[in-house]
Chains A and B, each alone.
Chain A
Amino acid sequence: MKGVFHLKKDKKMIVCFLTPAVLMFFIIFLYPVVRTIAMSFFRVEGVSDAVSTWEFIGIENYVTLLQTPIFLDSMKNMLKIWFFGGIVVILISLLFAAILTNGLYGKTFYKTVIYIPNIINAVAMATMWITAIFNKRFGFLHNFFDFFGSDLAKVDYMSGSAKFWSLLAAFCFGSVGYYMLIFMGGIERLPLDMYEAATIDGASKTKQFTRITLPLLRGVMKTCLTFWSIGVVGFFVWSQMWSAPLASELSTTTPFVYMYNITFGTQGNTFRNAAMGATVGVLMALTVLVVFFLINLLIKDDDVEV
């Protein structure tokens, strides 16, 4: 009887504590999500236009969007960032994590230095790269190659095809620290006795890394890939900084930049299509879900108890 009373009391408490959070979730999160999904099936000009003014057009927005070259090109850019950037960031952060968890002197110092770009605002970081590193007259790269009399001093990193790669390099530089910390956390929880046994058996450090560390980091790798995918799908600020003062540029535009431009219009183009913006948003959310599903399918969880 006493137990039942406690359970009832607990349920009341649970309801009391959960209600505000659930309500907030419905109002602040679920309502905009449902509205955005619904909007993608209508013709709507402004984001806040009354529902009564919406005109139902079925999947026309999706069909149009998937035939819009600039959207497809922005998807290509996003895919390139995901693939090439992903390889660079994951490999370098894994390498740093392996080195720093190997009893290196001054580990905390290096860890802090590598992580610092993550605590600096993306706009400030981008400005630093554009003006101090890539500027074709005063930038570090220009001065460095000029010192050695190399023709590379004349390269314009902020135009043409080089622009995409300079953007990617700067973005990857800022991302390494975050993934390095996740990998370090994963490596540090691995049991030391495995390494001791491997050392006694004569396995080199490289072999220990490839045969023990890497297989046991599958779960962490899955987490990192998921975070990386979500981050790349939401790629926006860096792209805007690289195309400034224009709203976007072909070589650096991404789906979110296109979504922003089509939703709110730009300086030379006052045309707005909030429903198309919503369609981009829904497609991007689906992309994240598909990537998440594929990662779960392709990478099995750690099958060794640690």
Chain B
Amino acid sequence: MKTSKLLKVVCGVCAASMMLTACGGAASSTSSTTNSESTPATDSTSQTESTGKTLTYWSMWNSTEGQAKVIQEAADAYEAATGIKINIEWKGRDVKNLIAPALDAGEKIDIFDQDYVFISNTASKYAADVTDMVEEAGLEEHMLPVLVETAKSYNDGALKVIPYQPYTSGVWYNKAMFEDAGIEKVPETFTELLDVCAKLKESGVNPMACDQGDGTALLMGYQLARYLGQDGVLDLVNNAKWGEVEEVKKAAEDIHSLFANGYMSEYSPSNYPDGQNELGYGETAMVLQASWVPNEITQNTGAEIDWGFFPWPAVEGGVDGIEAGMVGAQGYAIVETSEYKQEAFDFIQTVVTGENDLKMAQAVSSIPADTANTEWPLAVSGAEPYFKEMTISYLWAVGLQENGNYKDYIQEAINQLCKQEIDATGFVDSLSGL
């Protein structure tokens, strides 16, 4: 009997506390609703009333990435200022494959982003011509000319993309290791590069490292492009002239010599990202890669390196010098069928210029898109003077991955050459048979 009474009391207390908890929750939720509802009224100076307009933006970033955080902040600020909501769907890199079917199926999307060449070329039929909007807003002055020219070249002079987060490529090196080896000047020719490598090797470090795949493709791509230029390399790739052009063998001999002389680390070419990480482990001095590599190495190894940069050197009798480089960017597209093109443009402008652009550059140690933002993140600042002087832009891997039907054979031959399984003659022979 006593037990039953005790149980009743316990049940009663529990029920009462549950009711109180429920009331408390209701009260607090009411108060929070009241607060949020009252925000526009009480804070009308900084918060514009909602216009009811919502723009949908399919983003190439994942919500956890540094770029995403800056973009989300920019969208929130834009909404606060204009009352226009930017509904961001973080699709990740697969937006490249998803965007066309979605738009063809009538999905309401106003903005998407991807590699700027992809938008200018493959997705251009979905992208609105922004030439006039860019001109009216004076945005072109803030854009890197080399990117604008490349983007326009795909659409008869029309601009269909607004580039942001540009990248460049070249040799990233550890300044301290250069100093220890007594190197005072960065190499400008391939012969000078070999001298630098010899000095670094003498000082007890690996001069260079590289990864299989993009790493080795960049090495061979740059060397070929220095001899032949971008058009010459594309001619090789598209017309299979590997056996007819003598510079192919020269370039292969040069790259082979880097490995044969022991100027590459013993593990190179490594499986990505082991090669580039060797710089983070303090074993290797240089790596040829795009400007995202300092950030990647820091993320992977936690190393804090004083980064230096120089463009891939020129070669004797070559077509291009250090004024040519592999550059690129991400880009924004405004969807052709969007009802809110101007609004979309205004939002994009807030992301690719001024403070937000600088914040994004600092967040992931990338190059600012806005030319007015002269303060580059320290890790990539070494590339700034060369980037601004650059007049010729190469395709990714200088176009060696351009032909889907035999890019894998080219890559295989490059990897074999770098692993010294074949020499320069073997390299030419293996590609001549394609």
Q: Which residues of A contact B (CB under 8 A)?
A: 46-50, 68-70, 73, 130, 134-137, 156, 158-160, 243-246, 248-251, 253, 261-262, 264-272
Contact = CB atoms under 8 A, between A and B. Distances in A.
Contact of A262 (B100, B402, B404): B404
B409 A69 contact: yes
Given A48-B105, A159-B269, A245-B272, A268 B402 contact: yes
Contact of B403 (A73, A136, A249, A269): A269
A268 B397 contact: yes
A267 to B, nearest CB: 6
Given A267-B396, A272-B122, A159 B271 contact: yes
Contacts of A265: 96, 118, 122, 404
Contact of A160 (B97, B395, B421): B421
Nearest to A270: B122
Nearest to B121: A270
B272 A244 contact: yes
Interface in B382-414: 395-397, 399-409, 411-412
Interface in B76-105: 96-97, 100-101, 104-105
A290 B100 CA distance: 34
16 contacts: A48-B100, A48-B101, A69-B405, A69-B406, A70-B406, A136-B270, A159-B269, A246-B401, A250-B409, A264-B97, A265-B122, A267-B396, A268-B396, A269-B403, A270-B118, A271-B404
A250 B405 CA distance: 11
Contact of A267 (B115, B269, B415): B115
Given A265-B404, A270-B118, 13 more contacts: A69-B405, A69-B409, A70-B406, A137-B267, A137-B274, A160-B419, A246-B411, A268-B396, A268-B399, A269-B401, A269-B404, A269-B407, A270-B121
Interface of B: 96-97, 100-101, 104-105, 115, 117-118, 121-122, 212-214, 217, 267, 269-272, 274, 395-397, 399-409, 411-412, 415-416, 419, 421, 434
Contacts of A159: 212, 269, 271, 415, 419
A69 B404 CA distance: 11
Contact of B271 (A47, A70, A158, A262): A158
Contact of A246 (B97, B115, B214, B404): B214
A272 B101 CA distance: 13
A251 B213 contact: no
B100 A46 contact: yes
A264 B96 contact: yes
Contacts of B412: 249-251
Give 6 closest A-B pairs by Cβ, nearest first.
A268-B401, A48-B104, A48-B101, A158-B271, A250-B408, A250-B412
Contacts of A130: 271
A274 to B, nearest CB: 10
Contacts of B214: 245-246
Looking at chain A's contact residues, the main secondary structure is: loop
Nearest to B154: A270
Contact of B404 (A73, A244, A250, A261): A261
A267 B212 contact: no
B395 A268 contact: yes
A101 to B, nearest CB: 40
Nearest to A46: B100
Contact of B408 (A48, A248, A272): A248
B407 A268 contact: yes
A271 B122 CA distance: 7
Contact of A50 (B96, B104, B397): B104
Contact of A47 (B101, B406, B415): B101
A62 B289 CA distance: 39
B22 to A, nearest CB: 40
A70 B409 contact: yes
Contacts of B118: 265, 270
Contacts of B409: 69-70, 250
Contacts of A272: 122
A243 B401 CA distance: 14
Nearest to B277: A137
Nearest to B272: A245
Nearest to A161: B421
B104 A249 contact: no
A250 B270 contact: no
Contacts of A137: 267, 274
B405 A136 contact: no
Contacts of A266: 401, 404, 407
Contacts of A160: 415-416, 419, 421
Nearest to B409: A250
B402 A70 contact: no
Contacts of A271: 402, 404
Contacts of B122: 265, 270, 272
A68 B397 contact: no
Nearest to A73: B408
Nearest to A243: B213
Contacts of B271: 130, 134-136, 156, 158-159
Contacts of B421: 160
Contact of B400 (A69, A134, A251, A268): A268
